[in-house]
Amino acid sequence: MYFTLKILLLFINCSLLVTVHTRSFEAQSKIVGGYEATPYSHPYLVSLQTRFLWVRVHNCGGAILNERWVLSAAHCAVESWLTRWLPLDVVAGIHDIDKFGNQAQIIRINERLPHPLYEGGIGPYDVAVFSTVSPFRFTKYVQPVNLPINYKANGGPMKLAGWGVLKTTVFIPALPSKLQEVKVTYIPYEECYQAIEKLKEDYEENPLDRNANICTGPITGGVAACSGDSGGPLIQFVRNDILDPNDPVEDNTERYDASNYNCTNDNEATESATTEATKRQDRQTVDEYIPVVVGIVSWGVSPCGEKGAPTIYTNVSTYLDFINYNVKDLF
Residue 108 identity? R
Q: Do you find a cis peptide bond into 291, omega within 30 degrees of 0?
A: no
- List the beta bridge partners of residue 36: 180
DSSP 3-state assignment of 185?
strand
Give the CB-side neighbour count of residue 19, counting CA atoms within 13 A.
Answer: 7
Nearest Cα neighbor of 108 from 153, 155, 70, 61 is 70
User: What is the DSSP code string of 54-78?
Assistant: TEEEEEEEEEEEETTEEEE-THHHH
H helices present in the chain, as ranges? 2-19, 75-78, 81-85, 189-199, 276-286, 320-326
Catalytic positions are 75, 126, 230
Report the alpha-carbon distance of residue 127 to residue 118 in Å, rounded.
8
